[in-house]
């Protein structure tokens, strides 16, 4: 029976629609500060790839050594994420997010002031500790606040801060760092402060169910489904960032422009990936992204032919590569629905172990075999990721709900 046949139902129908719309806007308004925090974290992490040459000149080290700043950050993140998660398990998520950004800001402030290479490396560990607390917590909060049907899009919005950082923060920081890489780090400090204010103003005070002890933090590793997701995460980031970290040494073209195109593609891919994950499931998105990214990494020499080709290539690579992120988070949430913060923390650790592997192996490949070695290694790792995931993926995940306390 239509609404016109029952006029008395019309006010209720309209009220319900207004309430749902207001609730959706309220959730989204709480997610934007989390995305902003990830924007600061992503800029601080990824911008070092665009500062390899300026840092190497200022500190009198090789480009490969300068690339290890990202490697040290990634290793510290991977190691500290589960440890800090255990120590902060009983904290309010809001206060934990603010603590994380505070540590991140202090770490980057010290980086900007450090006069020598060893001190710069040490300060990257402190900055990584802040990032290790923030990003998994932000994803867990987004997952808890969103309805199951919109969970992929909520995760995509929050993780979109990382992709937007690669589109805006990294190119801007690379351009600014051409004259002073320390000025770029001060920019990261400012972004972290803005993110802190946003969390303080808009994120609600909530607690999430979580394992207590450190041993419980690693309990999900006994689940083959979790191990499969984590291994895919590690391998795909190792493949992508083997090339990305040393992109300035692989291309004879304006690096900020290429990084900008890659980041814009990442924004598009992340948002499309979130919606398509909700619509088609994570399996389709994972394999589409892995296969496409592997092909594009093998085409780096083609991208170097001219700037227009490189811009198109970088845009497509960024969009396809970041398309996978919401699907991987969705898989993790489905595998550990009763302990989402732990699962997402392990996923982030696997991601940063992959970045660590990329920094080490990519640097060695560049020094020993030059550009060709980096391209072959990157594409080869991509192929290994595809084959491994084909062998271990055991089906798509269903929607799950996460209680909030």
Residues 245 and 258: their CA atoms lie apart, in Å, by 13
Radius of gyration of the chain measured on its C-alpha atoms: 21
**Distances from the Cα of 189 to the Cα of 171, 184, 329, angstroms:** 16, 9, 28
Global confidence as pTM: 0.73
Asked whether residue 273 carries a pLDDT value surpassing 50, the answer given is: yes
The pLDDT of residue 19: 44
Least confident of 35-44, 59-68, 152-161, 229-238: 152-161
For 301, other C-beta atoms within 10 Å of its C-beta total 12
**Distances from the Cα of 354 to the Cα of 138, 170, 228, angstroms:** 21, 20, 14
User: Mean pLDDT across the stretch 343-352?
Assistant: 83
Helices (H), 114-252: 117-145, 151-164, 170-177, 181-202, 214-217, 224-244, 247-250
Residues 52 and 177: their CA atoms lie apart, in Å, by 10
Q: List all residues 6 or more positions away from 76 whose beta carbon is below 8 Å from its beta carbon.
A: 124, 125, 128, 129, 132
Q: Are 131 and 44 in contact (CB under 8 A)?
A: yes
pLDDT digits (tens, 9 = 90+) for 355-364: 889 988 998 8
Exposure string over 258-275, b if 16+ CB within 10 A, otherwise e: bbbbbbbbbbbbbbbbbe
Query: What does the block give as tokens for 36?
Result: 């902003």
DSSP-derived letter for residue 64 is H
Residues 239 and 341: their CA atoms lie apart, in Å, by 26
Q: Are 169 and 194 in contact (CB under 8 A)?
A: no
Residues 393 and 346: their CA atoms lie apart, in Å, by 18
Helix axes 255-280, 324-335, angle to 10 degrees: 40
**Distances from the Cα of 308 to the Cα of 254, 304, 375, 398, angstroms:** 11, 10, 20, 41
Query: What does the block give as tokens for 375?
Result: 């391209």
Q: Could you tell me the pLDDT band of residue 68, with boundaries at 50, 70 and 90?
A: confident
DSSP-derived letter for residue 165 is I
Query: What does the block give as tokens for 44?
Result: 């601080």
The pLDDT of residue 16: 43
Q: Among 128, 137, 4, which residue's Cα sits nearest to residue 76?
A: 128
The pLDDT of residue 97: 93
**Distances from the Cα of 181 to the Cα of 175, 210, 217, 247, 370, angstroms:** 9, 40, 37, 17, 25
Residues 337 and 333: their CA atoms lie apart, in Å, by 5
The pLDDT of residue 120: 95
Share of the chain above pLDDT 90, in %: 38
The pLDDT of residue 401: 44
Q: Among 79, 8, 37, which residue's Cα sits nearest to residue 199?
A: 37
């Amino acid at each position: 029976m239509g609404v016109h046949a029952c006029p008395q139902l019309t006010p209720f129908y309209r009220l319900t629609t207004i309430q749902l719309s207001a609730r959706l806007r309220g959730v989204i308004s709480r997610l934007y500060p989390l995305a902003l925090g990830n924007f600061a974290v992503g800029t601080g992490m990824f911008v070092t790839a665009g500062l390899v040459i300026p840092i190497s000149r200022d500190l009198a080290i090789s480009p490969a050594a300068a690339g290890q700043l990202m490697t040290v950050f990634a290793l510290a993140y991977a190691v500290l994420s589960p440890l800090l998660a255990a120590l902060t398990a009983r904290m309010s998520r809001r206060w934990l997010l603010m603590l994380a950004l505070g540590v991140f800001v202090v770490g980057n402030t010290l980086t900007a002031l450090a006069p020598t290479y060893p001190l710069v490396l040490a300060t990257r560990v402190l900055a990584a500790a802040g990032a290790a607390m923030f990003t998994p917590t932000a994803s867990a909060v987004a997952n808890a606040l969103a309805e199951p049907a919109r969970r992929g899009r909520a995760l995509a919005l929050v993780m979109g801060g990382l992709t937007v950082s690669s589109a805006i923060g990294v190119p801007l920081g690379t351009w600014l760092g051409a004259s002073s890489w320390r000025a770029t780090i001060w920019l990261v400090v400012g972004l972290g402060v803005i993110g802190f204010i946003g969390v303080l103003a808009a994120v609600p005070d909530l607690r999430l169910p979580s394992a207590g002890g450190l041993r419980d933090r690693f309990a999900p590793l006994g689940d083959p489904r979790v191990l499969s997701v984590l291994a895919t995460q590690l391998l795909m980031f190792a493949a992508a960032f083997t090339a990305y970290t040393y992109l300035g040494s692989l291309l004879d073209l304006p690096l900020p422009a290429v990084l900008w195109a890659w980041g814009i593609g990442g924004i598009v891919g992340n948002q499309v990936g979130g919606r398509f994950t909700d619509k088609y499931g994570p399996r389709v998105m994972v394999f589409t992204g892995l296969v496409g990214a592997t092909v594009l990494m093998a085409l780096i020499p083609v991208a170097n032919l001219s700037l227009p080709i490189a811009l198109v290539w970088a845009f497509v690579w960024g969009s396809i590569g970041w398309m996978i992120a919401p699907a991987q988070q969705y898989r993790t949430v489905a595998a550990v629905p009763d302990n989402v913060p732990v699962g997402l923390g392990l996923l982030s650790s696997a991601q940063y172990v992959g970045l660590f592997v990329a920094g080490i192996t990519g640097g060695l490949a560049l020094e020993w075999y030059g550009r060709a070695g980096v391209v072959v290694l990157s594409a080869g790792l991509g192929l290994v990721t595809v084959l491994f995931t084909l062998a271990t993926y055991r089906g798509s995940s269903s929607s799950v709900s996460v209680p909030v306390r």
